[in-house]
Amino acid sequence: MWTRHCSLCLIAVALLLLSLGVNAQAGSFYVDWNKGSDTRGTGSSDAPWQTIVFSARYLQPGDTLWVRSGADPYREYILNCIPSGTDEEHRVTIKWDGVGKRPVIQPAGVQDEILGIEDGASYITVEGLEIDGLDTAGFGVGWANGSHHLRFKDLDVHNARHIGFEGGTHHNEFLNCLSHDNDVAGTVSEPGGPLPHGMYLSDDSSVVDGCVFYNNPGYGIQIWPPHDNNTIRNCTSYRNGGGFEMSGVGNTIYNCVAYDNKGHGIVVYGGRNQRIYNCTVCNNERGIYVSGNPRSGHNPGGEVRNSIVLSAKGGIEDDGQGIPMTNNVTDTNAVRFVNAADRDFHLTGNSAACVDGGYDLSAIFTTDKDGKPRSGAFDIGAYEYAGE
Which tops the pLDDT comparison, 65 or 161?
A: 65
pLDDT at 291: 82
CATH number at residue 125: 2.160.20.10
93 and 235: one domain? Answer: no
255 and 294: one domain? Answer: yes
Distance CA 313, CA 64 (A): 50
pLDDT at 137: 82
pLDDT at 10: 43
225 and 130: one domain? Answer: no
The DSSP result for 93-104, as a single string, is EEEE-SSSSPPE
295 and 337: one domain? Answer: yes
> Residue 97: what are its φ and ψ, rounded to 5°?
-80, -5
Residue 340 within any structural domain of the chain: yes
pLDDT at 368: 98
Over residues 125-147, mean pLDDT: 95
* Residue partners of 124: CB distance under 8 A and separation at least 6: 82, 84, 85, 91, 92, 93, 94, 117, 147, 149, 150, 151
116 and 80: one domain? Answer: yes
Residue 16 within any structural domain of the chain: no
Domain stop point among 215, 247, 266: 215
Flag whether pLDDT at 69 surpasses 90: yes
In this prediction, residue 270 has a pLDDT band, given cuts at 50, 70 and 90, of: confident
pLDDT at 185: 65
Flag whether pLDDT at 23 surpasses 70: no
pLDDT in tens, 220-237: 999 999 999 999 999 999
pLDDT in tens, 179-211: 999 986 676 545 456 689 999 999 999 999 999
* Residue partners of 55: CB distance under 8 A and separation at least 6: 29, 31, 43, 49, 65
The DSSP result for 256-285, as a single string, is -EEES-SSEEEEEEEEES-EEES-EEESSS
What sign results for the dihedral spanned by CA atoms 321, 203, 371, 264?
A: negative
In this prediction, residue 318 has a pLDDT band, given cuts at 50, 70 and 90, of: confident
pLDDT at 301: 75
Distances (CA, A) of 268 to 42, 230, 274, 318: 51, 13, 7, 9
Which tops the pLDDT comparison, 290 or 51?
A: 51
Flag whether pLDDT at 21 surpasses 50: no
Which tops the pLDDT comparison, 14 or 54?
A: 54
Degrees to nearest 5, angle at CA 185 with 183 and 188: 55
251 and 379: one domain? Answer: yes
Mean predicted lDDT score pLDDT of the chain? 90
Residue 1 within any structural domain of the chain: no
Flag whether pLDDT at 341 surpasses 70: yes
Residue 91 within any structural domain of the chain: yes
189 and 222: one domain? Answer: no
In this prediction, residue 344 has a pLDDT band, given cuts at 50, 70 and 90, of: very high
pLDDT at 2: 40
93 and 153: one domain? Answer: yes
Quote the percentage of the chain above a pLDDT of 90: 77
52 and 180: one domain? Answer: yes
Residue 200 within any structural domain of the chain: no
In this prediction, residue 376 has a pLDDT band, given cuts at 50, 70 and 90, of: confident
Residue 233 within any structural domain of the chain: yes
In this prediction, residue 243 has a pLDDT band, given cuts at 50, 70 and 90, of: very high
In this prediction, residue 156 has a pLDDT band, given cuts at 50, 70 and 90, of: very high
Domain stop point among 215, 248, 264: 215
Flag whether pLDDT at 4 surpasses 50: no
Residue 199 within any structural domain of the chain: no
Tally of domains in the chain: 2
298 and 368: one domain? Answer: yes
Flag whether pLDDT at 367 surpasses 90: yes
In this prediction, residue 157 has a pLDDT band, given cuts at 50, 70 and 90, of: very high
Residue 61 within any structural domain of the chain: yes
Flag whether pLDDT at 24 surpasses 70: no
Domain stop point among 215, 250, 277: 215
153 and 295: one domain? Answer: no
187 and 318: one domain? Answer: no
In the beta sheet, which residues pair with residue 125? 93, 151
Range of the domain at 103: 25-194+207-215
pLDDT at 269: 85
pLDDT at 296: 47
> Residue 92: what are its φ and ψ, rounded to 5°?
-95, 125
pLDDT in tens, 287-315: 999 986 544 455 677 899 999 999 878 79
Flag whether pLDDT at 383 surpasses 80: yes
